A and B are shown apart, each in its own frame.
Chain A
Amino acid sequence: DAKTTQPPSMDCAEGRAANLPCNHSTISGNEYVYWYRQIHSQGPQYIIHGLKNNETNEMASLIITEDRKSSTLILPHATLRDTAVYYCIVRVDQGSGNTGKLIFGQGTTLQVKP
């Protein structure tokens, strides 16, 4: 699975959009981009995933560049409860609906401030 690079930490003001970048320059055509977050002392929580199109759900938006070498997770109106470690993971699609295991990196610690 391709390696991802994320900034170790970021701050965001409450109510503003949080934009979390991720570089995955060695991503392959059959690898999906996943985002999870882990609030202190809890298990990771799935946020969103995508292959090449931008995706949006009730939690966040995922913007993937056209060359797929980087992506940005957007939390449109960050709240204090969004303070967490955010993980960007690329995960291979082995075909026939079979994807590879979920391997976590160090992630980005997002601190939302009042």
Chain B
Amino acid sequence: ETGVTQTPRHLVMGMTNKKSLKCEQHLGHNAMYWYKQSAKKPLELMFVYNFKEQTENNSVPSRFSPECPNSSHLFLHLHTLQPEDSALYLCASSQDVGERVGYTFGSGTRLTVV
């Protein structure tokens, strides 16, 4: 356990479904991040939240909708996904976006779109 918990660990969804990924941390961190890791590709930064405010969206398609209700929780709402969206989705947190020590990552949600 790293202190960042992601649920579910595995998710299979159809292209017309709506689902949500959840990330939770009780490390007292103020910044949270979503990354996507497709097969044989580097991790791609998707969204950055700092003190509940979105500070970065790296041209992510609108079928991915993040939500950060408080500094401890981060969601990724999914709708009308494509098979190429199948990937490992990783959440991370840090004390703030300027944190030098490093990010703490969760174990990820393995998403399969069928």
Contact = CB atoms under 8 A, between A and B. Distances in A.
Interface stretch (B14-22, B69-77, B103-111): B103-111
Interface in B14-63: 35, 42-43, 45, 48, 56
Interface of A is mostly: loop
Given A43-B90, A101-B45, A104-B42, A34 B102 contact: yes
Contact of B105 (A45, A93, A94, A97): A45
A103 B46 CA distance: 11
A49 B42 contact: no
Contacts of A42: 107-108
A94 B98 contact: yes
Contacts of B97: 98-99, 101
B101 A97 contact: no
Contacts of A101: 45, 48, 56, 97
Interface residues of A, number: 23
A107 B37 CA distance: 13
Q: Which of A44, A49, A105 is packed against the most chain B CB atoms within 10 Å?
A: A44
B42 to A, nearest CB: 5
B105 A99 contact: no
A103 B100 contact: no
B81 interface: no
A49 B92 contact: no
A99 B42 contact: no
A107 B101 CA distance: 20
Interface of B: 2, 4, 35, 42-43, 45, 48, 56, 88, 90-92, 97-108, 110
- Which 6 pairs from chain A and chain B are nearest by CB? A43-B105, A46-B102, A98-B98, A104-B43, A104-B42, A97-B98
17 contacts: A34-B102, A41-B107, A42-B107, A43-B91, A43-B92, A43-B107, A43-B108, A44-B92, A49-B101, A94-B98, A96-B98, A97-B100, A98-B97, A99-B97, A102-B45, A103-B45, A106-B42
